[in-house]
Chain A
């Protein structure tokens, strides 16, 4: 349920490297807590964002929550498929439900994020 090859934030985003870019989405725990996602507002491409800055928003039947930038960097791509099919976040949060891709990231910040083991331990503490 929590892939090994990505890193996690306390706010339940995941970020993983793919072809030189960094893909960001929300974790299995986050999608489960939100319930059925009905709308996703994606960030502007080219936007420079700081770590923990709210950059996207995800709305479900229960709540609207911000997605925060897991690290400082630039937004270079967004998952346009989510506009028509926001439920991809529920169905496949680490695959087709990815939210945006980042470049020029602060790799030191990235390395300090939680790995799977630490994140699972963190979830147990909640």
Chain B
């Protein structure tokens, strides 16, 4: 199993005590497989993705990527894992506002030391961004920004692509286009995909679907 998640628990403090967001979640993901994670608001989808992406640490349980445990509180090791093996796509795009689209697209690849100008150009071409690489994020439409974010996540050739509501801010047509592109490019690189979505229609287009409810897999 490429990604192995077992008995994952996570809670957050609130004014009225601790809130259990994940309660013993376990699942696996094969290399090249695309998994949709659905569930109602507050079911723990984003939290699960943050834990898998080494952005946060679980209270208990294990996450293994390619047989290696995902680092917990070791900030340096977690940063290295995100940089070298994981691609992240956020709903709010989270591009770096001070860099133009070209620099944003190449950023993670350059950070990981795997930057190939040709590869970035191909991605830009495939994503329809060739004409706007010198524009800054604020000068791009929402769809264009999300495509830059996808390109950024894929440029370094990640083993695992994590997308949190990647089409949440886009209209229906744009959502379809962006999803198609993301899945096609991920397939080309052989990356496993885990995507959080509210949309059953989009989820149906992925290889497998997991539904979270009240912190547990339904």
A and B bound?
no
Please list the residues of chain B having a beta carbon within 8 angstroms of any beta carbon in chain A.
none
